[in-house]
Structure 1
Amino acid sequence: MAAVCPERIFRLVQDGDLLGLRALGLNDDVTTTLRMLRRARSGDTLVHVAARKGHLHLMRYLLEELNLDLEVPNREYKRPLHEAASMSHRQCVRSLLERGAQVDSLKSALHGHLDVVDILLQRCGYRPDERDSCGVTPFMDALKHGHVEVARLLMDRHKPDKRAADALGAQALHQAAMTGQDHSIRFLITELGVDVNSRATSMNFTALHYAAKEGHTKTILTLRGLGADLQATDAKGRTARLMASAGGHAACAQALDQTCMQNHTSTSDFTTHGLPPELLHQSSPS
């Protein structure tokens, strides 16, 4: 590889310069070296780079003419298919699948690119409640990251258990509350009929407990609007208000205090969410 700089090869692939790559006049010795070429820090192969950038014709050249391996993982254990899917390069995904790329359906749900997930689900022999090492299903993962349309697709196609729990006993609702995904919470409760006050783990946490523990003020308001029991206690007798206070989340604690007071005071000085306006900027992502 003395005559050709590895960094130049990676730059050509990153730029999608197929003509430039061909112009190097790669012989058998150089081609053999290219098959083993990896970026030191990321562990990416040339196929990873082409797939991530969506350079379909160049990726096909690497696979079909240079015979590079499409299943080599990088240092994050991602294969070229994961890179193409995460960037929503639909044609690259199709090409890799046609060449026999193996599909990990659990990772596909995380990406949130609906059209790509649809392709992957058609090819992967998906089991509705397939779990990872932590007991998390694709349905849970999608909602935990706010990908409601992906979760809806999974539900429509495969009918996963909407109340399935992970290894710790937390359901999709609790995971969504933990990450402040209000849209996911509304989907579970209003469309799928999940109980807003359902309990998780041996500690008997509700979604409200999780939202308070993580400091998600807007999620607390969302759960309240969906009928959450503000006085529910966990296995140690703690309310969500106590969890918020213990975690140092003053805005959450105040939101819960204000909510409890609303039956006894005028709401004229409150926003439509039931909070003083100055508290809303401290709220969690929806």
Structure 2
Amino acid sequence: MGNNIYGYIRKGKLKKIMKIFESKENGFVNSRNEEGYPLIHLAVEFKQTSILEYFLQIKDIDINITGPRNLSALCLAVQKGSVKVCKCLIKGKADVNFRTSKGYNALHILCEQEKPEPALVELLIKHGINKDAQTRTGLTPIHIAAINGHLHILRILAEKKADISKKDFLGMTPFHYACHSNMLSLVKFFLDHDIDTNTKDNTGSTPLHLMCSKNSPLVNVQLLLSKGADINIADNDGFVPLMRAVVHRSNQMIEILLEHKCELNFGKMSCKQFLKQHGVFSSDHPVYRAYRKQKKKNRNKKESEQISNKTKEKATETTKEKKKENGKKVVEKKKIKKPKNFDNKPTKLHPTASPLRFDTVENFFQEKKKENNKNKENPKKDISSKNVKINNKSSLKNQQNIEKKERKQKKGKKDKKEKK
């Protein structure tokens, strides 16, 4: 193919191109220039829609023919950002889901551009492009948009229900790449869409690990922590975010992690050994200072726990002793038996008691105890005491007889009165 047709396409001279095609054989439309570009690609390159429409009317044209960079005409049109040319090719039935040798489709290529056209995203999705298609490395269009910081493209894809949490073959989500890019607007976008803040890649790294490795802006880290990022989660090597911050010598990042009370856990190594291994040990290092403070707190806690345990043990022992003492007292009280009607109140006299000597039952028993004690001391006096009892009994009988006689006399007098 001569240089004439190449110049005519660039200048948009459709009539001269038509005259050339009249004298050419079938299949000429798929021929290439010296650099390997097909005619249809040259029309797309210079955005000559009228010439492109003429080429598409030719029966033998291969609309998906690739150029030197393994791109189709539609991929090239997307790369150029021409909505008109893309519409023309889609009308001519270009393959919207065409893939390059690296697995890129037109949407991947669009997200790679410095200033992607939002209208093209909607056009491609409208005509059935796979918005979650993965490249050979597992990247989706959202991954590429996040890597390049295209927030407006991300919003359109999210509205069209593209998968914003899909992982590539390294296990990284678009949110991982957003955190790695240090762009606050991207981080906010994914957090507003309820993304998992603790999702891990194949190395076990979370977005917080990446931020600590990258010395990200402190605002991004604080925002991520406020949304529930795990500050003590370890990667496959056992590294927590604090260890990553120490390795990359980010003192500001270390201060934020310490403020959020991260664990000072360095695996099998001590704090001092870890800091020495990475050449950052000093007595004034913020991590080492925090480590010493924590040790003191732990000691104080143990001592206070020991003291409290001892006091609890003593308290339980004293309560047990008190219970035992109370139990003994109860048993002693149960053994002591009080006599019936022992209420310090005047009651009926005991039949053996002399009414002249005893006013209450209690006085009677007290007197009787005294007599028994005297008998024990002086056993000879037992006989006399018996005589006293007998005399008391006889006196009671005489008194009772006298009372009976008096009663009979009174009854006799009453009966006489009633007869009269």
Structure 1 length-normalised TM: 0.71
2:238 is paired with a residue of what secondary structure? coil
1:217 aligns with 2:216: yes
Q: Which one of the candidate residues 153, 164, 167 is aligned to 2:156?
A: 153
Aligned CA distance change for structure 1 residues 245 and 61 (closer, same or farther; 3 Å): farther
Q: Which one of the candidate residues 244, 250, 256 is aligned to 2:253?
A: 256
Q: Would the aligned equivalents of 1:230 and 1:240 in 2 still touch at CA under 8 Å?
A: yes
1:101 is paired with a residue of what secondary structure? coil
Q: Which one of the candidate residues 30, 36, 51 is aligned to 1:35?
A: 30
Q: Would the aligned equivalents of 1:82 and 1:107 in 2 still touch at CA under 8 Å?
A: yes
2:195 is paired with a residue of what secondary structure? coil
Task: Name whichever of 178-187 and 78-87 sits farther off.
Answer: 178-187
Q: Which one of the candidate residues 94, 98, 101 is aligned to 2:91?
A: 98
Aligned to 2:190: 188
Q: Which one of the candidate residues 40, 57, 61 is aligned to 2:50?
A: 57
Aligned to 1:237: 238
Q: Which one of the candidate residues 171, 174, 193 is aligned to 2:173?
A: 171
Q: Would the aligned equivalents of 2:41 and 2:73 in 1 still touch at CA under 8 Å?
A: yes
| 1:95 Cα deviation after fit | 1.0
Task: Name whichever of 235-244 and 48-57 sits farther off.
Answer: 235-244
CA separation in 1, counterparts of 2:197 and 2:63?
44
Aligned CA distance change for structure 1 residues 239 and 18 (closer, same or farther; 3 Å): farther
| 1:119 Cα deviation after fit | 1.0
Give the counterpart letter for 1:257 in structure 2.
I
Per-residue CA deviation, residues 140-172 of structure 1 (Å, 9 max, x unaligned), is: 333333233333323322x33333222232212
Aligned CA distance change for structure 1 residues 57 and 67 (closer, same or farther; 3 Å): farther
CA separation in 1, counterparts of 2:12 and 2:59?
16
Q: Would the aligned equivalents of 1:54 and 1:92 in 2 still touch at CA under 8 Å?
A: yes
Give the counterpart letter for 1:92 in structure 2.
V
Paired residues for 1:67-106 under 5 Å: 68-104=61-97
Q: Would the aligned equivalents of 2:64 and 2:94 in 1 still touch at CA under 8 Å?
A: yes
Per-residue CA deviation, residues 174-206 of structure 1 (Å, 9 max, x unaligned), is: 13233445433221112x0113333222x2201
Structure index of larger Rg: 2
CA separation in 1, counterparts of 2:37 and 2:128?
24
| 1:241 Cα deviation after fit | 5.5
Aligned CA distance change for structure 1 residues 14 and 180 (closer, same or farther; 3 Å): farther
1:115 aligns with 2:154: no
Q: Would the aligned equivalents of 1:224 and 1:230 in 2 still touch at CA under 8 Å?
A: no
2:105 is paired with a residue of what secondary structure? helix
1:226 is paired with a residue of what secondary structure? helix
Aligned to 2:128: 124
| 1:32 Cα deviation after fit | 4.5
CA separation in 1, counterparts of 2:159 and 2:175?
18
Q: Which one of the candidate residues 144, 147, 153 is aligned to 2:147?
A: 144
1:92 is paired with a residue of what secondary structure? helix
CA separation in 2, counterparts of 1:212 and 1:52?
44
Q: Would the aligned equivalents of 1:39 and 1:45 in 2 still touch at CA under 8 Å?
A: no
Q: Would the aligned equivalents of 2:215 and 2:253 in 1 still touch at CA under 8 Å?
A: no
Per-residue CA deviation, residues 242-281 of structure 1 (Å, 9 max, x unaligned), is: 44665xx66xx24423544778xxxxxxxxxxxxxxxxxx
Give the counterpart letter for 2:119 in structure 1.
D
Alignment identity in percent?
19
CA separation in 2, counterparts of 1:107 and 1:181?
26
| 1:81 Cα deviation after fit | 0.5
CA separation in 1, counterparts of 2:26 and 2:41?
17
CA separation in 2, counterparts of 1:15 and 1:262?
66
- Segments of 5+ residues of structure 2 without an aligned counterpart are 99-103, 111-115, 261-420
Aligned to 2:224: 226
Q: Would the aligned equivalents of 1:144 and 1:184 in 2 still touch at CA under 8 Å?
A: no
Question: Which structure has the highest helix share of the two?
Answer: 2
